[in-house]
């Protein structure tokens, strides 16, 4: 398993930018990763992409299913099984093919999940090339045919895209401290998330940017510097903002939204027309005073506050419940494993060998020592039983320490 969390963002950073000290982007989607081929290893990535055409339809559909997860989980799985450098395509497809079978076991393995759980904390950490490979394979598996198309699109969007990119590179060290992530979560203030709404081209060209207030503030400032929302161009804004991983596409769509919002102010005539009937109602109920309206608004506000409060509480509860459940599950599994090995150890002498080799596999050394005890008295049922007892007792006692160890 890769030593670092299965996050795709920073591979890009690693490869093409100097170690950033501030703003980190976590493009979970590969949109930002893909530009890299434009820069250098285009041949490399092309090989990869063509390589993946070997994948069987089943494999592709599986990977597209996993793509839909919107999560790094599959990619972490992938990154585990695939190497970072150009691995032979056969290996790729082979490992990928093996996955569907595993997935039949319903859970995609506990490991990637555990890895993922570490995700929020590790997002801004530098990652090694492994994820890079994962990024490539992830994309390529699903969109190999579209890759070239996408590249063309990208190149045509903005002729000076490359200079933009290098400018981003150049400005890397001077990235504004302003947009620095200040979130209580450990997630950086923006993330690029791809949106594989369908395993088609659309998803590749529509990476999702999570616009936080800080990011938006930087945006607004850039726009104002450029003379307002009408005059500002996406390119200009992008350059001014100097935010890693931000693409012109993101800026474009955001600018559009911004423009519409400005010219359709929060108190538009439209809504007042709709609400006309209710206003009439209010009037008819003898509440012509603005005081009445204000009070009504207050009540509305109160209720909304209430709902929000409850929602937050509920959410916290839900998270707690799941964490609890996770812990319980882990403990339960441990107990079961230990129970299993105990059972195997004491069941028959012939099983002593395999059981001994099994026990050491456990993370707990105590178990290993327990199996030694059994070996001492093979084939004697009474003795086995007493050993079983001993082991049971030891197992009970030894549960707490293992829990600590197992928890990553």
Partner 1 sequence: MKFGKRLKQQIQDSLPEWRDKFLSYKELKKLVKLISAAPTRRNESWRSRNESLKYGKAESDFVYLLDIEIDKFNGFFMEQEEEFVIRHENLKQKIKRVVDLWGPNGIHPSEENYKEEMEKIRKAIVDFHGEMVLLVNYSNINYTGLAKILKKYDKRTGGLLRLPFIQKVLVQPFFTTDIISNLVKECESIIDTVFPAEEAAERAKEAIVVAGEGIFRNTVKALLTMQEIRKGSSTQSPFSLPPLNLPDSDLIQSIQLNAAVPIV
Q: Which of positions 108-127 make contact with partner 1 (CB under 8 A)?
A: 108, 110, 113, 116-117, 119-120
Q: Which of positions 255-284 make contact with partner 1 (CB under 8 A)?
A: 257-258, 261-262, 265-267, 271, 274-275, 277-278, 281-282
Contact 229, 255 (CB under 8 A): yes
Show the tokens assigned to 402. 């293992």
Q: How far is the CB of 324 from partner 1 (least distance, A)?
A: 6
Q: Is 217 in the site for partner 1 (CB under 8 A)?
A: yes
Task: State which of residues 39, 88, 98, 183 lies at the interface with partner 1 (CB under 8 A).
Answer: 183
Complex with partner 1: residue 57 or 265, whichever CB lies closer: 265
Written as one string, the DSSP assignment of 1-24 is: --SS----HHHHHHHHS---SS--
Q: Which of positions 312-331 make contact with partner 1 (CB under 8 A)?
A: 312, 314-315, 317-319, 321-322, 324-326, 328-329
Q: How deeply is 167 buried, as exposed, middle or buried, from its count of CB atoms within 10 A (0-12, 13-18, 19+)?
A: middle
Stretch that binds partner 1, among 152-160, 291-299, 369-377, 382-390 (CB under 8 A): 291-299
- Three-class SS of residue 293? helix
Q: How far is the CB of 353 from partner 1 (least distance, A)?
A: 26
Show the tokens assigned to 192. 């690029």
Q: How far apart are alpha carbons 121 and 185 in whole angstroms?
A: 8
Show the tokens assigned to 138. 């992830």
Q: How far apart are alpha carbons 74 and 76 in whole angstroms?
A: 5
Q: How far apart are alpha carbons 48 and 88 in whole angstroms?
A: 8
Task: State which of residues 59, 130, 187, 238 lies at the interface with partner 1 (CB under 8 A).
Answer: 187
Task: State which of residues 50, 53, 166, 294 lies at the interface with partner 1 (CB under 8 A).
Answer: 294
Task: State which of residues 202, 301, 372, 397 lies at the interface with partner 1 (CB under 8 A).
Answer: 301
Q: Which of positions 34-73 make contact with partner 1 (CB under 8 A)?
A: 65-71, 73
Q: How many amino acids of this chain bind partner 1 (CB under 8 A)?
A: 87
Complex with partner 1: residue 308 or 405, whichever CB lies closer: 308
Complex with partner 1: residue 40 or 314, whichever CB lies closer: 314
Q: Which of positions 330-389 make contact with partner 1 (CB under 8 A)?
A: none
227 CA to centre of own chain = 37
SS (H, E, C) 28-61: CCCCCCCHHHHHCCHHHHHHHHHHHHHCCHHHHH
Stretch that binds partner 1, among 30-38, 152-160, 182-190, 355-363 (CB under 8 A): 182-190
């Amino acid at each position: 398993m890769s030593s670092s969390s299965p996050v795709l963002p920073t591979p890009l950073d690693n490869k093409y930018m100097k170690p950033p000290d501030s703003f980190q982007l976590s493009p979970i989607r590969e949109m930002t990763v893909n530009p890299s081929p434009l820069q250098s290893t285009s041949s490399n990535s092309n090989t990869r992409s063509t390589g993946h055409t070997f994948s069987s339809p089943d494999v592709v559909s599986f990977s597209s299913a996993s793509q839909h997860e919107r999560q790094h989980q599959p990619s972490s799985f992938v990154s585990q099984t695939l190497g970072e450098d150009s691995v032979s395509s056969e290996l790729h497809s082979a490992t990928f093919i093996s996955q569907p079978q595993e997935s039949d076991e319903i859970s995609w393995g506990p490991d990637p999940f555990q890895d993922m759980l570490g995700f929020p904390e590790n997002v801004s950490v530098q990652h090694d090339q492994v994820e890079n490979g994962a990024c490539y394979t992830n994309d390529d598996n699903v969109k190999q045919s579209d890759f070239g198309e996408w590249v063309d699109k990208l190149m045509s969007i903005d002729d000076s895209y490359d200079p933009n990119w290098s400018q981003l590179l150049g400005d890397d060290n001077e990235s504004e401290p302003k947009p620095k992530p200040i979130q209580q979560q450990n997630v950086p203030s923006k993330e690029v998330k791809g949106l594989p709404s369908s395993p088609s081209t659309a998803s590749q060209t529509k990476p999702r940017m999570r616009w936080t207030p800080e990011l938006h503030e930087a945006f607004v400032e850039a726009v104002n510097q450029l003379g307002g929302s009408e005059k500002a161009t996406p390119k200009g804004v992008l350059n001014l903002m100097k935010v890693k991983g931000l693409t012109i596409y993101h800026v474009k769509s955001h600018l559009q939204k911004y423009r519409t919002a400005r010219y359709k102010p929060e108190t538009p005539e439209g809504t007042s027309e709709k609400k006309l009937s209710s206003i009439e109602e209010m009037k008819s109920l003898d509440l012509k005073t603005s005081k009445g309206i204000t009070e009504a608004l207050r009540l509305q506000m109160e209720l909304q506050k209430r709902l929000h409060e409850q929602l937050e509480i509920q959410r916290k509860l839900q998270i707690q419940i799941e964490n609890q459940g996770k812990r319980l599950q882990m403990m339960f599994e441990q107990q079961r494993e230990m129970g299993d090995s105990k059972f195997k150890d004491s069941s028959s002498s012939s099983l002593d060998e395999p059981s001994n080799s099994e026990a050491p596999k456990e993370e707990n050394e105590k178990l290993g020592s327990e199996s030694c005890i059994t070996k001492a008295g093979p084939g004697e049922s009474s003795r086995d039983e007493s050993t079983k007892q001993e082991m049971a007792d030891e197992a009970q006692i030894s549960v707490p320490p293992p829990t600590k160890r197992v928890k990553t």
